């Protein structure tokens, strides 16, 4: 009896019972225990960011992915072993007497007869999911839904988990499809809570908050774990807050607190209540929060407490007190994390709304380094910070010159009195910073001492540590590092770590003698010493005083000579001009822009760019429908600067029409010009360039018009004119992307690289070979260099397209989804390659030509995929031929070769396993000893 029960080759009531019993209480039991341990590791290790919308499931927190991985690996291993050893696929003997019984027919139609084995399959999928392997888990659940197609309950459970996998990968269409299929069938009652949670999570991930609320409420009602229930109430409070239902939000946070959650969650729930607090509870809550701030237990959370107090003042429309509390919160912060970052964001928003851009810049500049790029407001804050970094450079420069020029008008005694007051403030500030550094040093030592105590946290992992040694060394002192970073950002703004980081414009070309020509505008120095060294040539270098507690340090910077005053005025006028342009174009603060421009033309009537100033004043007043003022600026511009491009532009009879439709008209003209260029019609290119110079001199395509016109000079053999025209593009448009191309071409030509005289390298991308390739660089056997028609060698399938014209993320998603949905066994590697203006998505690799060709046929036989891939070139190519294509040949060269050698071959007959054919697992010798 035991021997018979051990066999999976027989399908009887006895074998089914035995295999079910041994599955449940041996391999599966051990795997399930490992899964529970993994889930506990996630629950204990998950650390939510309470300043952001919580994920419904802890696995939605990216930092949680990977926790308990070894436990989940063991669960997968045990599940696979259970399936391998205890699966019963063999059909039982048929009973003719029941052949018309529908229930019996359904039972006979099943593919798996071990009644417990579906638990092992589900355990494997869940373990893969909790480990963060969402694609693998989705494949497992998809297989389960097919394997157990005759059992609606198992299918529904598998689809719920499948939907969760798709949601975590942001495959929302597929997640909705899986969930809707469950709705269309009868959903077992015991699965309603998990279905509701999965659907709620699907809506939350898409920020469809209002729709998600009823599903989240159902999930909370069915939640048994108190900690998770508290998280869900907190999340519900956040969702109500997002939808503007502050009363319900306040109540949801209160319910989270009642669950007796971990202290951090409770504290954050109380703080979040301050954002939605009813007016009548404001004063009482402020007193409570002040008591909490004095409690030593909350020393670590003082930043959040003062932030909460500030929130209440905001609801009371008391902005002054809110600013005071937010500043206290930032000062009290000890963690320098997202909590402090959010306080600074709120401060920055207030200053931004008040047009106090200097203070806003300080807040945003520090905050941007404390919040993650995934934070919802990151893009907005990052953009503002970049603009303000640029603006403040000029604001500080203008303020400095104003102050210095004011000091120049005072008597020597008055100047000395002011300087002595500055020195007194400097000493006081340095003393405060010294005391703060000592306090921080003491705190660091205390933390180290606590960490070294033998009776510390028993759960603390015993990992090797690097001795920090003497904290006086710069990089061991976090305060000095932070201070240095802030000082750097105040002076330079935020710069990417790269070569020539000091330069705003890095477009550099070389002249005929290979000397570098840098068209970068001079950096305006914000540091007073730097400003002195950059601008005050009247003071010899060897007399410069650098001690900021010496009165001469300040006095030497005052422009007391005519030469020094002129240099100060040059810095001042340039700063005002750039401030005005930033106010107008990047901040759209037209009022400040007008004030700045008005001061500029009033105080500096000889400023070099006044034509542009009057033009911008004309545009702004026209926009405000202040006709008289606009006409005044227009007349001034035309009368004083008749030959200016700005005067010519507004004098054009079609100016009003161009103002309304100019962008569309310019786009159309450029499209026609580019088409003419690709066809070698340089007469049309030149004619359209002349039109653009008159009508769209300041249009966004003007650098491109110039570039196409310049390529015509190359075609006519005017190499010198070609070089000069490219340099002109770089000079006039240093920040435009076309300038980088122009600069690289000039540099390449001067280094001896050749360029086709007809400019064909810039025509069709499919005809391009490497521009820098010369005959001397070809390999010795270049005369015999050619593509191979070998079919029995590794092949690739490539989708090629013009770089920048395809949404690569969407293409990757569509191809990955197609492969996952159509090929259960075969795994494909998808990767992007960009070369010479052509983007490529590679699918690899295939054993031979026949496999790759079959893949391409299957792909394009799917009408939906064929539609989505229209406009791209589909290429089947061997790995060796692809290497030649990248080095020596064009895509058109390969297309010609392919048509000659492969287009007329018979329909391929593939030997061995087809791409979409499943692989059967061989039976296991049941006499093998089972290692449980």
pLDDT in tens, 167-210: 999 999 999 999 988 865 668 889 999 999 999 999 999 999 99
pLDDT of 650 reads 80
Residue 913 is predicted with a pLDDT of 41
Contacts of residue 873, Cβ cutoff 8 Å, sequence gap at least 6: 766, 798, 799, 800, 801, 891, 895
For residues 120 and 90, the model is more confident at 120
Question: Looking at residue 64, what DSSP letter applies?
Answer: G
128 and 2: one domain? yes
Find tokens 């929302």 and name the residue.
172
Claim to verify: residue 811 and residue 868 sit in the same structural domain: yes
pLDDT in the model for residue 150:
87
pLDDT tens for residues 515-528?
333 433 334 434 44
Give domain status of residue 558, yes or no. no
Report yes or no: 364 and 388 within 8 Å, Cβ to Cβ: yes
pLDDT the model gives residue 838 = 85
pLDDT at res. 319: 93
Tokens found for residue 180:
């809707």
pLDDT of residue 181: 86
- Confidence grade of residue 645 (pLDDT, cut at 50, 70, 90): confident
The pLDDT value recorded for residue 91 is 78
Quickly state the pLDDT bin for 798 (edges 50, 70, 90): very high
CB 132 within 8 A of CB 46: no
So what's the pLDDT on residue 661?
A: 53
| Pair (679, 713) in one structural domain | yes
In a domain, 810, yes or no: yes
Residue 605's pLDDT is what? 94
Task: Say which range, 666-680, 743-757, 834-848, has the weakest mean pLDDT.
Answer: 743-757
- 792 and 759 inside one domain: no
d(CA 545, CA 543): 6
Q: Please compute the mean of the pLDDT values over residues 785-799 and round it to a whole number.
A: 89
Q: CATH no. for residue 694?
A: 1.25.40.10
- What is the DSSP secondary structure assignment for residue 794, as one 8-state letter? -
Are 114 and 28 in a shared domain? yes
Question: What mean pLDDT, rounded, does the chain reach?
Answer: 80
CA distances from 682 to 621, 720, 726, 727, 754 (A): 40, 18, 17, 20, 21
Q: How many domains would you assign to the chain? A: 3
pLDDT surpassing 90 at residue 716:
no
pLDDT of 853 > 80? The answer is yes
Angle at 684 between CA 679 and CA 686, to 5 degrees: 115
Contact 382, 389 (CB under 8 A): no
Q: Is residue 134's pLDDT more than 70?
A: yes
Is residue 219 in a domain? Answer: no
Cα–Cα nearest to 786, from 899, 900, 889:
889
The enclosing H or E element of 365 equals helix 357-367
pLDDT given for residue 183 in this prediction = 66
The answer on 127 and 1 residing in a single domain is: yes
Strands 516-518 and 838-846 turn out to be: unpaired
**Strand ranges (E), 688-821:** 795-802
CA dihedral 903, 904, 910, 915 (to 10 degrees): 30
> What's the length of the chain?
932
Structure token digits, residue 429: 């500030």
**Residue 843, H or E segment:** strand 838-846
Please classify residue 515 by burial: count the beta carbons closer than 10 Å to its beta carbon, then call 0-12 exposed, 13-18 middle and 19+ buried: exposed
Q: For the chain, what percent of residues have pLDDT higher than 70?
A: 79
pLDDT exceeding 90 applies to what percent of the chain?
A: 34
Same domain, residue pair 798 and 739? no
pLDDT digits (tens, 9 = 90+) for 605-642: 999 999 999 999 998 998 888 989 999 999 999 999 99
- pLDDT score of 583: 92
* Residue that wins the pLDDT comparison between 636 and 660: 636
At 299 the three-state DSSP class reads: helix
Whether 834 and 888 map to the same domain: the answer is: yes
Neighbouring residues of 856: CB distance < 8 A, sequence distance ≥ 6:
797, 874, 876
DSSP classification of residue 524: P
Residue 910 confidence (pLDDT): 42
* Cis before 845? omega within 30: yes
Note the pLDDT of residue 514: 32
Contact 739, 733 (CB under 8 A): yes
What does the DSSP 8-state code read for residue 280? G
Given a contact cutoff of 8 angstroms between Cβ atoms, the answer to whether 769 and 890 are in contact is: yes
Tell whether 692 and 741 lie within a shared domain.
Answer: yes
User: Which contiguous run of DSSP H or E holds residue 839?
Assistant: strand 838-846
In a domain, 114, yes or no: yes
Distance CA 550, CA 558 (A): 14
For residue 895, what is the domain's CATH number? 3.30.70
**CA 844/CA 573 separation, integer angstroms:** 60
In-domain check, residue 311: no
**Whole-number pLDDT of residue 521:** 38
Helices (H) and strands (E) in the chain, counts: 39, 6
Assess whether pLDDT exceeds 70 at residue 761.
no
Residue 609 lies in a domain: no
Rounded Cα gap, residues 299 and 485, in angstroms: 26
What are the tens digits of pLDDT across the range 552-589? 888 888 998 999 999 999 999 999 999 999 999 888 88
Cα 145 to Cα 149: distance, rounded to the nearest angstrom: 6
- Supply the pLDDT for residue 614: 94
pLDDT in tens, 273-289: 988 888 788 888 888 88
Across 887-924, b (16+ Cβ under 10 Å) vs e yields: ebbbbebbeebbeeeeeeeeebeeeeeebeeeeeeeee
Give, as one character, the DSSP assignment of residue 93. P
Whether 123 and 19 map to the same domain: the answer is yes
Q: What is the pLDDT of residues 382-394, one digit of tens each?
A: 999 999 999 999 9
Q: Do residue 801 and residue 842 come from a single domain? A: yes
Q: Residue 844: which pLDDT band, with cuts at 50, 70 and 90?
A: confident
User: For the residues 533-546, what does the mean pLDDT come to?
Assistant: 53
Give a yes or no: residue 731 inside a domain.
Answer: yes
**Which domain, by its residues, includes 797?**
788-901
Instruction: Identify whether 537 is part of a domain.
Output: no
Tens of pLDDT, residues 444-476: 776 566 554 443 343 444 333 333 334 333 333
Domain boundary among 80, 115, 132: 132
Tokens 């963060």 belong to 132
Lowest mean per-residue pLDDT among 209-213, 374-378, 703-707:
374-378
Least-confidence region, from 10-24, 211-225, 751-765: 751-765
Q: Report in angstroms the alpha-carbon separations of 573 from 9, 367, 388, 408, 601.
A: 92, 31, 19, 18, 9
Kindly tell me if the per-residue pLDDT of 41 is higher than 90: yes
In Å, the largest CA–CA distance within the chain is 120
Question: Which of 312-321, 518-527, 808-817 shows the lowest mean pLDDT across its residues?
Answer: 518-527
Other Cβ atoms less than 10 A from the Cβ of 28: the count is 25
- Rounded Cα–Cα distance for residues 307 and 342 (Å): 9
Q: Are residues 712 and 803 in the same domain?
A: no
Distance of CA 818 to the CA centre of its chain: 25
pLDDT at 671 > cutoff 90: no
């Amino acid at each position: 009896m035991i021997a018979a029960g051990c066999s999976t080759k027989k399908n009887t009531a006895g074998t089914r019972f035995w295999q079910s019993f041994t599955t449940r209480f041996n391999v599966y039991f051990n795997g399930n225990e490992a899964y529970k341990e993994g889930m506990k590791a996630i629950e204990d290790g998950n650390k939510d960011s309470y300043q952001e919308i919580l994920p419904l499931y802890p696995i939605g927190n990216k930092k949680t992915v990977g926790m308990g991985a070894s436990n989940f690996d063991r669960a997968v291993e045990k599940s696979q072993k259970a399936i391998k050893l205890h699966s019963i696929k063999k059909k039982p003997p048929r009973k003719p007497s029941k052949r018309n019984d529908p229930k019996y027919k359904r039972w006979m139609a099943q593919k798996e007869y071990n009644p417990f084995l579906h638990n092992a399959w589900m355990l494997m999928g869940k373990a893969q999911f909790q480990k963060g392997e969402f694609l693998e888990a989705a494949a497992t659940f998809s297989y389960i839904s097919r394997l157990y197609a005759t059992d609606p309950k198992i299918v529904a459970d598998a689809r719920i988990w499948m939907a969760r996998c798709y949601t975590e990968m942001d495959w929302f269409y597929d997640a909705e499809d899986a969930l809707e299929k469950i709705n269309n069938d009868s959903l077992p009652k015991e699965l309603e809570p998990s279905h509701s949670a999965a659907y709620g999570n699907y809506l939350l991930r898409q920020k469809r908050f209002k729709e998600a609320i009823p599903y989240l409420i159902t999930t909370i009602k069915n939640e048994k774990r108190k900690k998770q229930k508290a998280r869900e109430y907190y999340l519900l409070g956040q969702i109500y807050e997002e939808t503007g239902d502050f009363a319900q939000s306040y109540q949801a946070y209160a319910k989270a607190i009642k669950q007796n959650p971990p202290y951090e969650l409770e504290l954050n729930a109380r703080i979040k209540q301050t954002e939605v607090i009813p007016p009548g509870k404001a004063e009482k809550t402020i007193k409570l929060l002040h008591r909490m701030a004095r409690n030593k237990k909350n020393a670590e959370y003082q930043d959040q407490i003062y932030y909460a107090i500030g929130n209440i003042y905001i609801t009371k429309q008391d902005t002054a007190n809110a600013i005071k509390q937010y500043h206290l919160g930032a000062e009290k912060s000890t963690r320098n994390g997202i909590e402090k970052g959010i306080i600074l964001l709120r401060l920055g928003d207030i200053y931004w709304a008040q047009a106090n851009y200097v203070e806003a810049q300080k807040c945003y500049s520090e905050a941007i380094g404390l919040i993650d790029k995934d934070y919802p407001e990151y893009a907005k804050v990052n953009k503002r910070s970049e603009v303000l970094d640029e603006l403040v450079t000029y604001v500080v420069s203008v303020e400095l010159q104003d102050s210095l020029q004011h000091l120049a008008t005072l008597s020597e005694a008055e100047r000395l009195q002011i300087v002595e007051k500055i020195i007194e403030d400097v000493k006081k500030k340095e003393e405060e910073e010294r005391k703060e550094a000592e306090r921080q040093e003491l705190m660091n030592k205390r933390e180290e001492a606590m960490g070294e105590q033998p009776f510390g946290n028993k759960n603390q992992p015993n990992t090797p540590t690097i001795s920090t040694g003497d904290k006086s060394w710069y990089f061991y002192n976090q305060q000095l590092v932070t201070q240095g970073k802030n000082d750097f950002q105040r002076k330079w703004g935020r710069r990417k770590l790269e070569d020539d980081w000091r330069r705003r414009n890095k477009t550099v070309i070389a002249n005929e003698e290979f000397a570098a020509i840098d068209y970068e505008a001079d950096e305006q120095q914000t540091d007073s010493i730097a400003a002195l060294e950059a601008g005050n040539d009247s003071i010899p270098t060897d007399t410069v005083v650098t001690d900021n507690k010496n009165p001469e340090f300040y006095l030497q910077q005052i422009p007391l000579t005519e030469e020094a005053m002129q240099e100060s005025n040059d810095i001042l006028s340039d700063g005002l001009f750039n401030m005005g342009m930033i106010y107008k174009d990047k901040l759209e603060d037209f009022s400040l822009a007008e004030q700045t421009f008005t001061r500029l033309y009033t105080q500096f009537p000889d400023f070099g760019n006044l034509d542009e100033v009057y033009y911008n004043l004309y545009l702004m007043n026209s926009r405000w429908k202040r006709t008289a003022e606009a006409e005044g600026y227009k007349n001034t511009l035309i009368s004083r600067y008749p030959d200016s491009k700005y005067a010519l532009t507004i004098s054009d009879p079609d100016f009003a029409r161009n103002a309304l439709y100019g962008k569309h008209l310019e786009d159309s003209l450029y499209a026609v010009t580019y088409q003419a260029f690709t066809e070698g019609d340089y007469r049309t290119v030149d004619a359209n360039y002349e039109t653009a110079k008159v009508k769209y001199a300041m249009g966004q395509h003007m650098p491109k018009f110039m570039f196409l016109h310049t390529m015509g000079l190359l075609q006519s053999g005017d190499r010198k004119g070609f070089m000069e025209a490219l340099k002109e593009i770089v000079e006039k448009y240093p920040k435009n992307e076309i300038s980088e191309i122009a600069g690289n071409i000039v540099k390449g030509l001067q280094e001896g690289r050749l360029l086709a005289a007809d400019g064909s390298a810039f025509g069709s991308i499919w005809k391009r070979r490497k521009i820098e390739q010369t005959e001397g660089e070809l390999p010795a056997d270049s005369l015999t260099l050619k593509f191979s028609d070998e079919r029995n060698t590794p092949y690739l399938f490539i989708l090629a397209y013009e770089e920048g014209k395809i949404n690569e993320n969407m293409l990757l998603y569509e191809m990955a989804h197609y492969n996952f949905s159509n090929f259960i066994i075969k795994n494909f590697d998808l990767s992007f390659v960009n070369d010479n203006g052509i983007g490529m998505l590679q699918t690899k690799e295939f054993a031979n030509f026949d496999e790759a060709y079959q893949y391409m046929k299957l792909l394009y036989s799917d009408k939906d995929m064929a539609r989505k891939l229209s406009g791209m070139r589909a290429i089947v190519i061997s790995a060796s031929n692809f290497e030649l294509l990248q080095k020596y040949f064009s895509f058109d060269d390969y297309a010609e070769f392919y048509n000659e050698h492969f287009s007329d071959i018979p329909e391929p007959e593939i030997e061995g396993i087809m791409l979409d054919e499943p692989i059967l697992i061989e039976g296991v010798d049941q006499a093998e000893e089972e290692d449980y």
